[in-house]
Chains A and B, each alone.
Chain A
């Protein structure tokens, strides 16, 4: 029988939600933070043969400390292969071999479109953000895209200010019309309050499960579009004792994941 942890923090729960989306033998493109943590939990828990890659050029890194960027020095020693962007983004992602991409968004809308370019008007920005980097190609071509975001009316939007990375664009059929590869797109939007999934008919994100301590009503209220609720909406499965053990004993003894609490993931 599965025993659940009781003393976890929200970022640990979110990392476990991500981990559960990764299957054995998946090829996963990861960024830093949640994506790496999720993929590593999966590797130690149920997907030992999943292989991680960083867009900078690294395949199957064996970092001895927590990587703070996708170009981090600790990704070099022990990797299975190191090339560059053309190898990862071209030879693996564009060629159709990446199963899971994992992105976070400054702003995410109901179709899973992500904005990391600009808040406000593009020409006269209120806030200029970094830009696409690898996010656009990952969201375009990974079979499943997992998205992490904060759950409030500023970070979630009916429509993002700028579509940097495609979710389902403006709805059903849009990815196909643009020629994006078949059977790709956002799979799940993991927030600090809930897990949202995407309706195959409407392409809209709906409430699949609410995290322990939250309610469906509260989440509908905190979402800036008319959030549909799954008929079988339920509480998100908490981290198991084993998942928490993997996080704290194996992956992150320094508890670096707790910095996400300061960033609002509570």
Chain B
């Protein structure tokens, strides 16, 4: 089944205000194209989650799209604390996001549980710390402590998560949504598969035959995929292994702009609201920062031995 559509169609058709979204990525393959489209379409009151959030989540929060955040971490990496995240939590600008705090073990395991159809999962972290003393919108269901029915030791249980929509950016997918990645995984695979439906953004659309030449790379098979969007450069300013590098220069631009509320709004206007789609974004990038800057980000090629699945 052909599920290929534009980013605009995919987001308007499958993401609604009030939804719970898993948004994959870990600096690696951040689905920035989708983030910009969500902001452009004025979608609000979202609950968002991912382990190790970065500039993309900061931007969604600053743009006022987010009501709740199931969080482990949010920073701009080498560029420090998330400016919009801080303004939201310290000053209520544009509003105070409700945050449920977990860690980079517990949240991935909650997504794993969701993907596996398990109601909850025991984890060994967070014990004894203030992460167990703060509860937000999940209330009593943030976690439960029990004595293990097997050996009576204190055991922490955290609930499975099943987001309404999982949004990921991958290297390649076919038209039905078989999605393949290589490189750093973060919580992408389990987060996507825990979701009720999945939107796949890809650097390149490939044939079903190409997928079949290396099927072990598929992290999401087609059944739950509802949309496939071919979006080259779609993870910029994050990176995609084999395609382009992290754009640290652009990261600096974002940091400087988001230092102030006005600067952030100007940045959104320039790079999101006044931009039609990812093609226009890439054109704007080249016009503003130069083709050399764009070219410098493009990956070199270093192929290994091709794999063979023949018998």
Contacts and interface: CB of A to CB of B under 8 A. Distances in A.
Contacts of A76: 28, 182-184, 241
B216 interface: no
Contact of B90 (A93, A125, A132, A180): A125
A131 B185 CA distance: 21
Interface pairs A-B: 8 shortest CB-CB: A84-B185, A133-B73, A71-B27, A137-B105, A178-B128, A137-B125, A134-B104, A85-B108
Interface in A161-191: 162-166, 169, 174-175, 177-181
A243 interface: no
Given A68-B78, A73-B239, A73-B241, A179 B126 contact: no
A179 B51 CA distance: 24
B249 interface: no
Interface string B82-120: 100110011000000000011111101100100000000
Contacts, number: 178
A86 B187 contact: yes
Interface of B: 26-28, 51-52, 71-75, 77-78, 81-82, 85-86, 89-90, 101-106, 108-109, 112, 123-131, 134, 153-155, 182-190, 239, 241, 245-246, 248, 302
B90 A136 contact: no
Interface residues of A, number: 54
Given A57-B26, A117-B130, 4 more contacts: A69-B78, A86-B190, A117-B101, A133-B73
Contacts of B112: 86, 90
A166 B127 contact: yes
A137 B108 CA distance: 12
A86 B27 CA distance: 17
A133 B183 contact: no
Given A86-B187, A132-B102, A178-B154, A77 B302 contact: yes
Contacts of A94: 105, 123-125
B183 A82 contact: yes
A32 B28 CA distance: 16
B52 A56 contact: yes
Contact of A136 (B81, B108, B125, B239): B125
A130 interface: yes
A129 interface: yes
Contacts of A56: 26-28, 52, 184-186
